[in-house]
Chains A and B, each alone.
Chain A
Amino acid sequence: MSNATLLEVSDVTVEYVTQGQRFAAISDVTLDIAEGETLGLVGESGCGKSTTGRAIIQLPTPTAGQVKFEGQELTGLTHNDMRPIRQRLQIIFQDPVSSLNPRRRVKDIVAEPLIIDGLKNTAEIDRKVREVLIAVGMDPDITMDRRPHQFSGGQCQRICIARALIMEPKLIVCDEPVSALDVSVQAQILNLLEDMKARYGLTLLFISHDLAVVKNISDRVAVMYLGKFCELADSERIYQAPAHPYTAGLMATIPEIGDKAIDNVQALAGEIPSPLNPPSGCRFRTRCPCAQEKCVADEPAFRDIEPGHQVACHFPLLASK
């Protein structure tokens, strides 16, 4: 990536207290996103991918670590100082229906960021709302006076995208934006995100549990497991030559059209351990087909195995695929 770094996340840890016990939802997460890049973040439920996305927009502020956006450190900022930055740092959520206020009309929902920003000229607001609705493929004359329940899930997600775009942000955190949608609509929204990225010069952090979706939209992909990164590489590379056994296992279990009924697919055994009590050494060792003694004792560092390809594994798979 030759572009300038837009976002720099270093050693971010987010801790929560549950059942009287402190635990880290994510620990020592380090990543950077270049301007114009799409970074995909993939993993199973509870791996910390949404927590990472939220830590970036300071909801909540991480327990430890730094988040630098456009060169500015965000972690120490007060709520009021954070406000103007949020305009350039937007988020889209998984369930578009519940992230829209059902009692408000589309034009008010989409215009709200402008109003919060202090724009009072109603003609100007109206013009901007129309423009962004057209951009996301909605007809303003039909949609502006309607309420969210009059739209399908895909259309609601378009409205959410319009709301995120209206302040012309630099970075959008997309937290499972297509997981609640049917495949045919999912394709529409993914195409729309690519179009909007080109048109508005966006940078995306795209969070999803679906490796195929992530690979399609991302330039680079990070795989998370139990609160830590286990692999990060270009999306083509991570698919061609996954180095972490977890990435490889994840890839093998995705049912794909054209897969024959095969019994010998090595489904990953077991389930994700509790983050309250993570395994010693490598966090993945309890499910790893290649685990050895060293994996129990030492936690593998997240290290370069090739330029631009990082992996946290003592025994990374050879790039032979």
Chain B
Amino acid sequence: MADSQSNEPPLLEVNNLFTHFDTPRGIAHAVDGVSFKLERGRTLGIVGESGSGKSVLSRTIIDILAKDGSVLHKGEIIFEGRDLRQLPEKEMREIRGREIAMVFQDPMSSLNPVKKIGKQITEVLTKRLGMTKQAANVRAAELIESVGIPDAEQQLARFPMHLSGGMRQRVAIAIAMACEPKLLIADEPTTALDVTIQAQILDLLREQQRERNMSVILITHNLGIVSGYADDVAVMYAGRIAERCSTDELIAHPRMPYTEALMNSAPALSDPPHTRLNAIPGLPPNLLDVPPGCRFHARCPNVQDKCKVDMPELLVEDNSEHSFACWHPLANGKAGEMASG
């Protein structure tokens, strides 16, 4: 879908971003040279397993990691023409929450347990947008209603503990939407929820996105979610992007063996019972001691000598929009039959 990226610059451009943690046991390479672009109104899915760096990447973009010197950064985060990494904290505070909002995995711990729902929403409206109390109350009820919570007026007077997990996540989304952000980062927004509620929340996020022409970064460990809800996808492994392209392309023609292995390791509903799963052997590398070469080489079925020595860069092949970091990629079109089901 190349039509959207004509003349307008992307909303967000991340260039060669590094986030390292200085820990007592050494430097943890959590994000290690990540670059991507995000157009307006599109959803980028970032998918990866625990420790792949997807959450650290999102927290780096919105700049909410510790500022005590234990976090080391390098690279650029260009948002609407400004490098967020260069902005003073005061200006960054204007962007955070207002231009870029975030929804977290656990709505219980991201909401204040001792503050009423209404107060948590109106606080944003009065403090960030300078609304009067009355106007904020009206707007809060509207927001609550727009995220599908019934009896808006009554709900505003309740505490988070009175609500179910799904309802709490709706409140978190309402708060995120309060300032009409241009970019929403949703970090595993449905991982703590049941599947039926997950579907409701993902539909709600999509509806909000379309209404507001917002860009979304959807972080998840679930390729199935990416498949149904993201336009483009970046697969992360051990702090780097292993493959990036449109979602349809990724599902139909994965090129990086890790992507294919990840797809094959999940049980599919269409498989008969007792189908042997294609588990990926071994474990992801220790981020404190990253091996040379490709980070996936120790678990890769196609590994060759070069993979153990030289690290492949994320490169675009020919004229396609499909980039992957692999010395010995899967043949183009080889995995097409996997997409069914």
Contacts and interface: CB of A to CB of B under 8 A. Distances in A.
Interface stretch (A18-26, A124-132, A142-150, A182-190): A182-190
Interface in B248-266: 248, 251, 261-263, 265-266
A267 B276 CA distance: 30
A188 B340 CA distance: 23
Choose among B194, B197, B275 the residue with the greatest number of A CB atoms under 10 Å from its CB: B194
A259 B228 contact: yes
Given A216-B274, A262-B228, A257 B266 contact: yes
A213 B273 CA distance: 9
Nearest to B164: A271
Interface string A68-89: 0000000000000000000000
B331 interface: no
Interface stretch (B15-23, B109-117, B198-206, B306-314): B198-206
B50 to A, nearest CB: 5
Contacts of A218: 273
B269 interface: yes
A256 B340 CA distance: 10
Interface stretch (A51-59, A97-105, A107-115, A247-255): A247-255
Nearest to B339: A258
Contact of B265 (A183, A235, A271): A183
Interface stretch (B72-80, B83-91, B177-185, B218-226): B218-226
A67 to B, nearest CB: 26
A255 B49 contact: no
A154 interface: yes
Interface stretch (B27-35, B63-71, B92-100, B278-286): B278-286
B327 interface: no
Nearest to A43: B194
| Contact count band on A | 35 or more
Given A249-B196, A254-B269, A191 B277 contact: yes
A211 interface: yes
A216 B271 contact: yes
Interface string B328-341: 00000000001111
A217 B195 CA distance: 19
Given A44-B196, A254-B269, A260 B228 contact: yes
Contacts of B166: 271
B267 interface: yes
Contacts of A254: 195, 224, 269
B272 interface: yes
Given A184-B279, A239-B269, A250 B196 contact: yes
B135 interface: no
Contact of A258 (B196, B229, B251): B251
Contact of B50 (A182, A265, A269): A182
Choose among A184, A210, A235, A262 the residue with the greatest number of B CB atoms under 10 Å from its CB: A184
Interface of A: 44-45, 152-154, 182-188, 190-191, 194, 209-213, 215-219, 235-236, 239, 249-251, 253-263, 265, 267-269, 271-272
Closest 8 CB pairs of A and B: A255-B224, A187-B279, A187-B277, A216-B267, A184-B280, A253-B199, A182-B49, A44-B194
15 contacts: A45-B194, A182-B221, A183-B49, A183-B262, A184-B261, A210-B195, A253-B195, A255-B222, A255-B227, A255-B229, A256-B268, A260-B248, A263-B203, A265-B199, A271-B167
